[in-house]
Amino acid sequence: MNTVLPDPGLPAEMAAALAARREQVAAALRHVLPSGAILSAPEDTRPYECDGLAAYRQLPMIVVLPDSEAQIVAVLGVCRELNVPVVPRGAGTGLSGGAMPIADGVVLSTARLNRIVRMDAYSRTAVVQPGVRNLAISEAAAQHRLYYAPDPSSQIACTIGGNVAENSGGVHCLKYGLTVHNVLRVRMVTIDGDVVELGGDALDAPGLDLLSVFIGSEGMLGIVTEVTVKLVPKPATARVIMASFDEVVAGCEAVAALIAAGIIPAGLEMMDQTSSRMVEPFVQAGYDTDAAAILLCEADGTAEEVEEEIARMSAVLQTAGASAIAVSQSEAERLKFWSGRKNAFPAAGRISPDYYCMDGTIPRKRLGEVLTGIARMESKYGLRCANVFHAGDGNLHPLILFNANIPDEFERAEAFGAEILALCVAVGGTITGEHGVGIEKIDSMCVQFAPSELAAFFSVKRAFDPAGLLNPDKAIPTLNRCAEFGKMRVSGGALPFAHLPRF
């Protein structure tokens, strides 16, 4: 399964050049960082060789662990001076290879910038350093009965810096918005060493909306050093419906019917039978494992609001053909229903040695058609696929199950994933909902965007980072790469990644 980039057997000459380069860069970094903040021995840098997309690995040349914005400015100064690529890294939970190192690059970890700087219950905001974990913000805000709404399933580990870079979403984003809707201000350092503040404390900042350009830019425009997030009041109460469907397509139509009825649930998630059966023995969430699909629909607010919305949702679900409806009767049961959904990705390990998590977004009304298409692809590629996803947002997460020890299974899983994304684009959707492009979907960008659009993206990148040192070779494919990809698509081959040392 591990694709080591570049080839593990570097020619002796190149290995020697890399070692010399490592020493040169480390020596320069020692002038600006304490020695404990610089890792260069392979046994120390190994834990950074991949992110959550563990199929791709690359040992970085050096890892740095700055503990202040001033140290980040200094590190970027060294890298700029010596022309060294820099890969920012939060917790490394990303699923598209965004934090995957570059052979001759520096990984800049924000792990030591993990302080909540200020919590302001009056303005309902928190100012946090980039390495603060998503869940830690809500835990700290709980004393004021507030929380931070975007809740990726990885929230126990992932950082706010990574959330900003990926514009992360989660179960509650249908009602409360993605990261971009919940961040007021980002402070960041450009590769030139300038400290820039985007956005502001008010809802609308003057000038061009560069905050929106920056959020979701996958570490390619600057290093986040501080984030001001919005906090929202914890709802007085919440309850969740589990609705069963005998047909996946009927479940999909129920999703569209709920929204069409003018209901915006606090969460609207779907799991097909493969998913509920892989999760249930692991979490005992009480899922209906006989159903072809289950929907989890949450209502939150005052007790009266919740009761009314649960009744309205139940009526719509019944009309849409639900074969059974269960409503959580206590907070413990509500959390149990969600715990199955939140643990779905790890549960895949129970039924398959490996899985490949895709992330595409489609118009809600096309859900049924796309899931039927994915079922057809299971036969075509001879691989199973579990579907567990943010149905209300139309954000699919097909988990393609494979065994990397069987020759060509990973390649088939990759081709399967690429075809799913092409189908998402064909029905008017996009190749990513929240996990980003990284290296994983870089070729699918050629399917989604015309050369002129990719050129426009490069212009934005160059405006922030003229030398292309921040997270290069991620997210935006070169036009040459797209041309090669076009040829490969015709011949049915796969395009190898080519991250070769640039010194």
Ligand X SMILES: Cc1cc2nc3c(=O)[nH]c(=O)nc-3n(C[C@H](O)[C@H](O)[C@H](O)COP(=O)(O)OP(=O)(O)OC[C@H]3O[C@@H](n4cnc5c(N)ncnc54)[C@H](O)[C@@H]3O)c2cc1C
Residue 423 near residue 432 (C-beta atoms within 8 A): no
Rounded distance between C-alpha atoms, residue 150 and residue 194, angstroms: 29
Closest approach of ligand X to the CB of residue 260, in Å: 25
Applying CB under 6 A, does 93 fall inside the site for ligand X?
yes
3-state secondary structure 442-483: CCHHHHHCCHHHHHHHHHHHHHHCCCCCECCCCCCCCHHHHH
Closest approach of ligand X to the CB of residue 25, in Å: 19
Stretch that binds ligand X, among 87-95, 303-311, 325-333, 448-456 (CB under 6 A): 87-95
- The residues that bridge with 120 in the sheet, in sequence order, are 125
Interface map 104-123 toward ligand X (x if CB under 6 A): ------x-------------
In the complex with ligand X, which residue's Cβ is closer, 91 or 128? Answer: 91
Closest approach of ligand X to the CB of residue 363, in Å: 19
φ, ψ for residue 355, nearest 5 deg: -145, 155
381 SS3 class: helix
Closest approach of ligand X to the CB of residue 164, in Å: 7
- The residues that bridge with 295 in the sheet, in sequence order, are 243, 270
Please choose, from the candidates 402, 445, 404, the residue with its C-alpha nearest in 3D space to the C-alpha of residue 421.
Answer: 445
Residue owning tokens 């129970």? 350
Count of residues of this chain found to bind ligand X when the rule CB under 6 A is applied? 36
User: String of b and e for 48-73 (b: at least 16 CB within 10 Å)?
Assistant: bbbbbbbbbbbbbbbbbbbbebebbb
Applying CB under 6 A, does 129 fall inside the site for ligand X?
no
In the complex with ligand X, which residue's Cβ is closer, 266 or 327? Answer: 266
Residue 93 near residue 52 (C-beta atoms within 8 A): yes
Rounded distance between C-alpha atoms, residue 361 and residue 364, angstroms: 9
Interface map 389-428 toward ligand X (x if CB under 6 A): ----------------------------------------
Q: Which of 104, 166, 393, 409 binds ligand X (CB under 6 A)?
A: 166
Stretch that binds ligand X, among 164-172, 201-209, 325-333, 476-484 (CB under 6 A): 164-172
In the complex with ligand X, which residue's Cβ is closer, 138 or 159? Answer: 159
Applying CB under 6 A, does 265 fall inside the site for ligand X?
no
Who's near 57: CB < 8 A, 6+ residues apart? Answer: 2, 3, 4, 5, 49, 50, 100
Stretch that binds ligand X, among 2-10, 76-84, 219-227, 495-503 (CB under 6 A): 219-227
Please choose, from the candidates 421, 470, 429, 442, the residue with its C-alpha nearest in 3D space to the C-alpha of residue 214.
Answer: 470
Applying CB under 6 A, does 88 fall inside the site for ligand X?
yes
Rounded distance between C-alpha atoms, residue 287 and residue 242, angstroms: 8
In the complex with ligand X, which residue's Cβ is closer, 158 or 306? Answer: 158
Q: Which of 99, 258, 259, 447 binds ligand X (CB under 6 A)?
A: 99
In the complex with ligand X, which residue's Cβ is closer, 95 or 106? Answer: 95
Helix axes 248-260, 303-319, angle to 10 degrees: 130
Rounded distance between C-alpha atoms, residue 309 and residue 301, angstroms: 9
Q: Taking CB under 6 A as the criterion, which residues in 291-350 touch ligand X?
A: 345
Stretch that binds ligand X, among 61-69, 92-100, 298-306, 404-412 (CB under 6 A): 92-100
Applying CB under 6 A, does 472 fall inside the site for ligand X?
no
In the complex with ligand X, which residue's Cβ is closer, 93 or 125? Answer: 93
Applying CB under 6 A, does 85 fall inside the site for ligand X?
no
Stretch that binds ligand X, among 6-14, 152-160, 348-356, 456-464 (CB under 6 A): 152-160
Parallel, antiparallel or unpaired: strands 62-64 and 116-120 = unpaired
Applying CB under 6 A, does 60 fall inside the site for ligand X?
no
Applying CB under 6 A, does 161 fall inside the site for ligand X?
yes
Contact residues toward ligand X (CB under 6 A) are 51-52, 87-95, 98-99, 110, 130, 152-154, 158-159, 161-163, 165-166, 168-170, 218-219, 223-224, 345, 434-435, 471
